[in-house]
Amino acid sequence: MTYVNNAFCILLEYIKIEFMLWYRYHNLLFAVFDAMKPPKYIEISNIIEKRIDLGQYAKGSKLPTHRALAQELDTTAVTVSKAYQTLATAGKIESFVGRGSFVYDDKPLSQVIRSGDADNEFNLSILQPCMSHNVKRLHHEFQNSFNQDFDARLFEYAEDSGLLKHRDIGRHWAVKYGLDMPKVEQLHLTNGAQHGLSTLIQLYTQADDLIAVEAQTYPGILSIANFLGRRVVGIQMDESGMCPNDLARQFKQEKPALVIVIPSHQNPTAITMPTLRRKQIAATVLKYNAWLIEDDIYGFLNETPLPAISNFAPENTFHISSLSKAVSPGIRCGFLNSPLSEAKKIAAFLRAMVWLPSPLLFETASNLIESGTAFKLADQQKAIAIKRQKIAQKVLNQFELNAQVTSYHLWLTLPGQWNADSFCLAAKNQGLLVSSSTYFCADGKPIDKVRLSVMAIDSEPRFSLALKNLAQLLDTSPMQHSQF
């Protein structure tokens, strides 16, 4: 009996050892197979690529959000983000902060905002002065400048980050449109407003910092944040612009390092902040002791000058203006007014980065301002904008439009059957360049609106024709445009 018992135990022990060996061997095999498998994000990027090849994700179309795809493919948003990065590096897709990721196309949305107005296209996308009205005059002014005896200092390195006389004249430009007169050392010269924005974002934020902007904002701000690795948060807007309550809520939740506001003819909504709202934004910024950038590049378009937000919080606000929209974007002359406490730091930074913007260009710009020509040119552009807005209100009267009577642009709400991206692509197909709301959405929530520039098309009859064509397209259904 004991013998049988022992044999049985030995058999059991044998089976146990065999089983353990088998188990280990299979686990090892599983581990080897696992190690041989590509990482999860590669698997996901292969799935997306297959969907693109099969046309499931059409060229130029928007890809699902990280979260939506993660849910569908049972993975995490971080893995999807890595997959999108891989595909972007391989040139299969394009990603834009605030707008999302798109399947790469020969005619991607990114090419829909374009300068210039080709014969076979109507450009309703770029916000610039109506150049045909300016060019002859500017040409003449430049020739004149070069005929005069030049101040030898214009050819040399200048004191600080620009000649004092140019900084002095720059003050007059900003003051004319609502800024309280600053000290000359507060006024810095930049290569356009964009350079002012990038300078301040570099100086007053660090990687991963949060920047609060209007829920829909100028894409140039989103691009700087994207390149420098800053996060952006969109603050709600109402008919008076950025909402101070939502800004205060954001300060209580996660304090942004910087707030950026476009108070006049906001790009893209065309909202102009009334004085009360300017005071409320200044008060909020003061309460939370934050930095504010006031990008007032369209301030010259206000029917009567409105006080700058900076006037109500001068020690917390940087004010930016430029000649790009009023005179010519090619001149690249911008003015950055800083709190007095920050003046030395900014001058030193500009000096370190570019030494100084070209004194030769600023000399011509200063002549234009000093002689009053720049203000006249700005007024002429404003008069063109008024006429163009009237035409637009007439031709597009059955659609919901937002604009001031002097704005360079319109913010158009699309009829229910359209979404912004598909409308832009359908319009592009008909030779009409308009800008989708997805370019401007800081909070990543697309809305069914597009921005129309009223200034980029040089002739009035062509502008009217472009709007008539646009009105017809707005009345059609996306189904009629088969490629979508």
Ligand X SMILES: Cc1ncc(COP(=O)(O)O)c(C=O)c1O
* Residue 66 or 195 having the CB closest to ligand X: 195
Q: Answer whether 214's CB lies under 8 Å from 263's CB.
A: no
- DSSP 3-state of 196: helix
Residues 6+ apart with CB under 8 A from 59: 103, 104, 105, 106
- DSSP 3-state of 442: coil
* Residue 103 or 109 having the CB closest to ligand X: 109
Least distance (Å) from ligand X to the CB of residue 414? 22
Report the 10 Å Cβ neighbour count for 239.
Answer: 9
Q: What angle do CA 330, 333, 334 make, to 5 degrees?
A: 130
* Alpha helices for 179-320 (secondary structure H): 192-204, 219-228, 244-253, 275-287
Query: Considering just the CA atoms, what is the radius of gyration of the chain in Å?
Result: 29
DSSP annotation of 107 reads S
* Residue 81 or 191 having the CB closest to ligand X: 191
Q: Is the dihedral of CA 385, 391, 394, 398 positive or negative?
A: negative
Report the 10 Å Cβ neighbour count for 399.
Answer: 16
Least distance (Å) from ligand X to the CB of residue 479? 34
Q: Is the dihedral of CA 195, 270, 112, 105 positive or negative?
A: positive
Q: What string of H, E and C letters represents the secondary structure of 122-141?
A: EECCCCCCCHHHCHHHHHHH
Report the 10 Å Cβ neighbour count for 164.
Answer: 13
Least distance (Å) from ligand X to the CB of residue 218? 4
Least distance (Å) from ligand X to the CB of residue 236? 19
Least distance (Å) from ligand X to the CB of residue 408? 9
Least distance (Å) from ligand X to the CB of residue 126? 8
* Residue 141 or 294 having the CB closest to ligand X: 294
Calculate the CA dihedral of residues 113, 117, 118, 120 and round it to 10 degrees: 90
- DSSP 3-state of 96: strand
* Alpha helices for 288-372 (secondary structure H): 343-354, 359-370
Phi, psi of 238 (to 5 degrees): -125, -160
Strand residues in 280-437 grouped as ranges (E): 291-295, 317-322, 334-337, 400-402, 409-413, 432-433, 435-436
* Residue 192 or 339 having the CB closest to ligand X: 192
* Residue 265 or 277 having the CB closest to ligand X: 265
* Residue 103 or 117 having the CB closest to ligand X: 117
Least distance (Å) from ligand X to the CB of residue 343? 21
Minimal CB distance to ligand X: which residue? 192
Report the 10 Å Cβ neighbour count for 338.
Answer: 26
Least distance (Å) from ligand X to the CB of residue 407? 12
Q: Which amino acid is at 58?
A: A
Comparing C-alpha atoms, which of 230, 222, 223, 200 is closest to residue 292?
200
Least distance (Å) from ligand X to the CB of residue 185? 22
* Residue 103 or 442 having the CB closest to ligand X: 442
Least distance (Å) from ligand X to the CB of residue 426? 24
Comparing C-alpha atoms, which of 276, 236, 239 is closest to residue 404?
239
* Residue 93 or 326 having the CB closest to ligand X: 326
Quickly count helices (H) and strands (E) in the chain. 15, 17
Residues 6+ apart with CB under 8 A from 207: 228, 229, 230
Which spans of this chain sit near ligand X (rule: CB under 6 A)?
127, 192-194, 218, 220, 262, 267, 295, 297, 322, 324, 329, 334
* Residue 45 or 264 having the CB closest to ligand X: 264
* Residue 320 or 384 having the CB closest to ligand X: 320
* Residue 63 or 361 having the CB closest to ligand X: 361
